[in-house]
Amino acid sequence: MTLTMDAMLPDWLISRIEFIKDEIVEDPVVDNWFLVQSWIPVTSIVVAYLVFVKIIGPRMMENRKPYNIKHIILVYNLIQTVYNAYMVSFIFRPGAMHSVMNNLCDRVLKGPDAPYWMTFCTCTYLYYISKLIDLLDTIFFVLRKKQSQVTFLHVYHHSMMVFTTWVFLRYFKGEQATLVGLLNSTVHVVMYSYYFLAALGPGVQKYLWWKKYITKFQLLQFVLFGVHAICLLIFRCKMPIVITYYIFLQATVMCVLFGNFYYHTYINKNPKKSAKALN
């Protein structure tokens, strides 16, 4: 007698699997975009990233001098600033803000003929690609022999964001991510602008008194993510609830991690605990 997979699983688990399946949104165009179609490329990239920054990179740099990549970092930070500003600009496109405000607690029409659907998916895809580009932050740390900045917070956050954005774009495509993407991209504009100016040298760095406020801004975004998710649950908004719970969970985790970072960097001021804040 052959048992099906459903027959081998308890009823409560089957019901939850079916619930998640019902929330999946498929699009024949979006689901086949570069680095979206399959989990294999994105997983390979993250695994290669982790192996390099935690094993290969440190061993390679052990007996080498730090690479002088100042100009590469300047260009990288400038590109990141412009790239994130471009993503923020999507909200100011004709009709975009109106669509968002009218669907704060409801799903928008989906499909190739639906207004703003492809704009939403395009911006989400750009956001996903930006998380892959963010991995270069850690690569630069390793090449400059700043391994102390390759912290758990840093590596966890970058790896988690790559997988999260891929899963979201490939399967769920929920409207609640509009606020997440908008706020996070805005934070990145401020953050990478600071890094670009700081990389110009001591002559400019002395004017950058607002460094600690970047971390406060980062903490504020995670608080807002959590509050937004709670509001969606309280008002029973018709959006993918799996993503809503996940956003709330990650917002809580990041508040704890960034709060710990802020305490040790600006309150306790233990240099061994200091690290570069990201995202």
Q: Which residues are catalytic?
A: 157
Cα distances (angstroms) measured from residue 161 to each of 25, 49, 78, 188, 193:
20, 13, 21, 14, 21
Q: Are residues 260 and 199 in contact, defined by beta-carbon separation less than 8 angstroms?
A: no
Rg of the chain on CA atoms, in Å: 21
Helices (H), 112-210: 117-133, 136-143, 152-167, 177-198, 202-205
Q: Are residues 50 and 155 in contact, defined by beta-carbon separation less than 8 angstroms?
A: yes
Tell me how far apart the alpha carbons of residues 84 and 183 are, in angstroms, rounded to a whole number: 10
Tell me how far apart the alpha carbons of residues 94 and 74 are, in angstroms, rounded to a whole number: 33
User: What SS3 class is residue 68?
Assistant: coil
Number of H helices, E strands in the chain: 13, 0
Q: What are the tokens at 104?
A: 């704060």
